[in-house]
Amino acid sequence: MGEHLGVGIGWRSEIDLTVERMLGVDFVEVVAENIHRDHLPESLRVLRARGLPVLPHAVSLSLGGAEPLDTDRVEHLAAVADLLDAPLVSDHVCFVRAGGLDSGHLMPVPRTRDALEVLVANVTEARSILGRPLALENIAALLEWPNAELTEARFLRELVERTDCLLLVDVANMWANAKNLDADPVALLDGLPLERLAYVHVAGGMEVDGVYHDTHAHAVPQGVLDLLGELCDRVRPPGVLLERDDHYPADTVLADELAAIRAVVDR
């Protein structure tokens, strides 16, 4: 289990003042690629001066990619983490590059033994550069590769055991996969090594033409909060963070969403 973080929100430059003045924010997360490796935005300096943990969250390491690890991107994440004195860093169980192309999207990794070997090797190399705990997040996917050899739970469990990394469990992504891929989120929770939980992501989305989109731009559905409750029935999460990336609502709406998350965690 990671260190105690509390309830947090994703820091974005569009809502920097909102985050600074909002009560009930115990920690924040920043997209590492949006931060300069040599200096912090003033708002993040303010939050760090208050003692709030600021966790860098990467989106471009492509740890599940078959190409050699882009160590420049890992070194950028390490530099941002040093700047923030962050207790841990994170990225996703996915790939974003292949054959010289960038998908612009987090792509699912085939759940095969071969893909797991590549992921383990890349995570091990990244960890040697980072020099601090690395948490890996389950993603939302609109497709699954055929011929899976492992369940998602078994795949993630073996990854964690072989690399000694942590888990960043995104219950909104689990909810999206339940809606779109008929995945069983409760079975996934039952199979995950929750003793390796770093923290949890919660986010909103919307359904369009029968497909649920994890937009990070809409209200958190009750189903996602219910899934957070299922997780909290199994373990008390070190931290739970609300992600919001677009169509920012009034400050009071964000505060209400944080309060709803805290109510589930503290029940």
Annotated domain spans of the chain:
6-266
Section 225-252 average pLDDT: 96
Alpha-carbon gap, residue 45 to 10, rounded angstroms: 15
pLDDT digits (tens, 9 = 90+) for 141-176: 877 878 899 999 999 999 999 999 999 999 999 999
Per-residue model confidence (pLDDT) at position 192: 97
pLDDT tier for residue 1 given thresholds of 50, 70 and 90: low
Per-residue model confidence (pLDDT) at position 99: 57
Number of helices (H), then strands (E), belonging to the chain: the values are: 9, 12
Per-residue model confidence (pLDDT) at position 104: 60
Per-residue model confidence (pLDDT) at position 3: 75
CATH of domain 6-266: 3.20.20.150
Least confidently predicted of 6-10, 89-93, 125-129, 210-214: 210-214
Contact 182, 195 (CB under 8 A): no
pLDDT digits (tens, 9 = 90+) for 82-109: 999 999 999 999 988 665 656 566 889 9
Per-residue model confidence (pLDDT) at position 50: 95
In the numeric block, which tokens belong to residue 123?
Answer: 């995570």
Entry pTM:
0.95
Closest by CA position to 84, among listed 107, 105, 60, 53:
53
Per-residue model confidence (pLDDT) at position 177: 94
